Amino acid sequence: MKTVIIGGGKGCRAIIELALGAFLKELTLDIECVVDIDPKAPGVLFAQECAIRTSTEMLDAMAMPGIELIIELTGSDHVLREIYRLLPEGVKLIDHTIAHIFWDLANAQEERKRQLLEMTQLELEVESERGFLQSVFDTIPDLLVVLDKEKKITRVNTSFSSFVHKSGKEALGMTCGDVFAETEFNRQWRETTPVLDEVFSLQKPRTAVWRTDPPHEIYWEVTRTPIINPDGEMEAVLCIWHRITERVMLRREIESAEQRFRGFIDSAHDWISIKDLEGRYVIVNPAIARAFHRKPEDFVGKRAVDMLPAGLAKTVMLHDQEVISTNSHHTYDEIIPIDERDYYFQTVRFPLTDYKGSTIGVCTIARDVTSEKDLRTQLVQAEKLAAVGKLAAGVAHEINNPLTGILAYAEDLTDELPEDDSHQKDLKVIIREALRCRDIVRNLLDFARHEEPELKKVDPNTIIDQSLVLVERLPQFRNITIEKNMAEDIPHVKCDLRHMQQVLLNLMLNAADAMKGKGKIILTTEHYRRRNRCVISVEDNGPGIPQNLMDKLFEPFFSTKGTSGLGLAVSWGIIERHGGVIEVDMAENGGSIFRIVLPAMTEEEKPQG
């Protein structure tokens, strides 16, 4: 249909675009001319670009041959009346009111194009996002599967497909029970189906640990998490199988290492503790706790000042700070009071570091060396006794000869002089003192003589019984009560009974002297099973021994009673030759207690048959 457009505005351009496009299929417009008094109007310029004739004279355009349709777009009623006046017969007219339909159609077309473009772009973005999410889904090494409300599979990742040997398309619509039927998860899935039901009903996540059967023992952490839509409704469940075998094995190794470490420190006789940088106990082994009558857990989280005597706590804190400040190990000799008795400890302290090498605490290992110290003291004492013994033997022989002459001449003079002679008294003093010197010389010879004992199997209780026979009639024991506490099943010892009686008699006489002939002596036999030692104790309720004299008791010629001071030294030598020791301590009643400690006979040493 040959058409003339009168009015070259924006509406003109829109109609030209519709006519040149494929939008107006049912109404074909063949635009012959565009008329506007403004040759620069946008519709006029667009028509010129499209090779359409333009004009500023409406009459010329209407006079064109074959015109079938005139479209008025000026919006002017005056122009519209003029067109009606000049309109050729048979030519149709569409005024600007009806022409708006074309504009609406053009706008609708543009809107449709825009929406279509947006939908296309959105679909591309959705598809891209879907592909990205699936690629992320597939790159996760865990097994992932999404189940709908019917517990049917709607999505799986590559790891899951490889595990069940089914592609994602093959698994769609199946249940996990179906896909696990031929896998190692068959039993675990059937056993944990109620857990999945609980997730659907409660809409809360659940986690469990699965273990596959040996020999290929594998652990999995299984998590089932509900997927909630924007309306707050659960529409699916995400199931995740995360392999934790390495983590479980590592935890086992750590627990085993902790058990070995704990077993080591708990069974150690040494004191072992660990403290943090603030001085708070982290670990304390039972050896420390027992010494202070506590439990190991009583120390944890507390400081030394909270658990130990004030003086010891101060020493511990000073030594710990020295280790921390120097960041190196140190060895200390420490005296630790336990139950009112001082014990000697050799202590090693060293810093503890973390994986970065930073100091995080102090470890302390302390060993009780009290017995070793006592042994060293006894060794020194034994060496002194040996040296004095050699000296005593020589001195005794040198004194004995002139002493014998003095006694002989004094006794001869006594026999020659009358009984009433005034010199008789002096001679008796000479004889008495000479005899005393001879006793001293005899003790010196006994002390110096290393006579090997004649060892026989002897019951420690027998030693006490036979020794009591020797002292029960002595006047020193007339006002002394003797009490016996003897163990019934005490093992035998290998000893010389005569020598043991001499030692026990000497200790009992010393006890009687200490009590000035009035008091109580307790004789006890015990068996120290841990050390396999038999102990014979002599305890008195006398004034006791001053602490400053303890170390001198067994030295030759040391005495507080004006005697020769050889009794305890001789006794020490006898017990030493029997492989034992003599210990001295303060008794609970304030007196003294001497312990003869001898090795107990073992089963192998006992006579057979």
Under 8 Å between Cβ of 572 and 491: no
Residue 125 lies in a domain: no
Residue 131 lies in a domain: no
Residue 121 lies in a domain: no
CA distance 252 to 245: 11
Reported as a pLDDT band with limits 50, 70 and 90, residue 386 is: low
Residue 118 lies in a domain: no
Alpha helices, DSSP H, located in 417-455: 423-448
User: Regarding predicted confidence, which is higher, 216 or 362?
Assistant: 362
**Domain check: are 257 and 349 in the same one?**
yes
pTM: 0.44
Residue 120 lies in a domain: no
Q: Is the pLDDT of residue 193 over 80?
A: yes
Q: How many helices (H) and strands (E) does the chain have?
A: 20, 22
Residue 93 lies in a domain: yes
Tell me the two tokens of residue 448.
């110096």
Kind and range of the H or E element at 94?
strand 92-94
**Domain check: are 331 and 269 in the same one?**
yes
Residue 608 lies in a domain: no
Kind and range of the H or E element at 325?
helix 310-326
We report the CATH number of the domain holding residue 43 as 3.40.50.720
Single out the residue of 455, 456, 520, 463 nearest to residue 490, CA to CA.
463
Q: What is the pLDDT of residue 75?
A: 83
We report the CATH number of the domain holding residue 401 as 1.10.287.130
Q: What is the pLDDT of residue 200?
A: 87
Can you tell me which residue has the tokens 């020493």?
A: 315
CA distance 160 to 173: 15
Reported as a pLDDT band with limits 50, 70 and 90, residue 379 is: low
**Domain check: are 378 and 362 in the same one?**
no
One-letter amino acid at 236 equals A
Per residue in 102-160, pLDDT (tens digit) is 667 666 767 777 888 888 888 888 788 777 777 878 888 999 999 998 999 999 999 99
**Domain check: are 230 and 262 in the same one?**
no
Which of these three, 448, 474, 500, is where a domain ends? Answer: 448
Under 8 Å between Cβ of 313 and 304: yes
CA distance 418 to 423: 9
**Domain check: are 226 and 312 in the same one?**
no
Q: What is the number of other CB atoms lying within 10 angstroms of the CB of residue 208?
A: 13
**Domain check: are 461 and 595 in the same one?**
yes
CA distance 473 to 444: 27
Domain count across the chain: 5
Q: What is the pLDDT of residue 558?
A: 54
**Domain check: are 287 and 381 in the same one?**
no
Single out the residue of 409, 465, 454, 410 nearest to residue 432, CA to CA.
410
Can you tell me which residue has the tokens 């809409």?
A: 203
- Averaged pLDDT score across all residues of the chain: 84
**For 600, which DSSP code?**
B
**Domain check: are 153 and 92 in the same one?**
no
Residue 119 lies in a domain: no
Single out the residue of 32, 44, 97 nearest to residue 68, CA to CA.
32
CA distance 516 to 542: 8
User: Regarding predicted confidence, which is higher, 562 or 551?
Assistant: 551
Mean local confidence (pLDDT), 568-593: 85
**Domain check: are 564 and 595 in the same one?**
yes
Which of these three, 338, 368, 398, is where a domain ends? Answer: 368
**Domain check: are 506 and 584 in the same one?**
yes
CA distance 557 to 552: 10
Residues of the domain holding 307: 250-368
Which of these three, 368, 384, 412, is where a domain ends? Answer: 368
* Strand locations in 354-391 (E): 359-368
**Domain check: are 471 and 581 in the same one?**
yes
Question: For the chain, how many residues are written?
Answer: 609
Bridge partners, 5 (sequence order): 34, 71
We report the CATH number of the domain holding residue 160 as 3.30.450.20
Per residue in 405-437, pLDDT (tens digit) is 888 888 888 888 888 888 888 888 888 878 877
The distance in angstroms from the start CA to the end CA of the chain is 145
- Pick from 187-196, 276-285, 553-562 the range whose average pLDDT is largest: 276-285
Per residue in 502-539, pLDDT (tens digit) is 889 888 888 888 888 889 999 999 998 888 999 999 99
Estimate the crossing angle of helix 497-514 against helix 567-577, to 10 degrees: 150
CA distance 293 to 338: 10
CA distance 517 to 113: 132
Q: Is the pLDDT of residue 608 over 50?
A: no
CA distance 495 to 457: 7
CA distance 486 to 420: 56
**Domain check: are 519 and 566 in the same one?**
yes
Q: In a 10 Å sphere around its CB, with 0-12 CB exposed, 13-18 middle and 19+ buried, how is residue 305 labelled? A: middle
Reported as a pLDDT band with limits 50, 70 and 90, residue 550 is: low
Single out the residue of 467, 539, 538 nearest to residue 499, CA to CA.
467
Per residue in 434-492, pLDDT (tens digit) is 887 776 666 556 655 555 678 899 999 999 988 887 777 677 888 889 999 999 889 99
Q: What is the pLDDT of residue 105?
A: 65
Q: Residue 121: what are its φ and ψ, rounded to 5°?
A: -65, -40
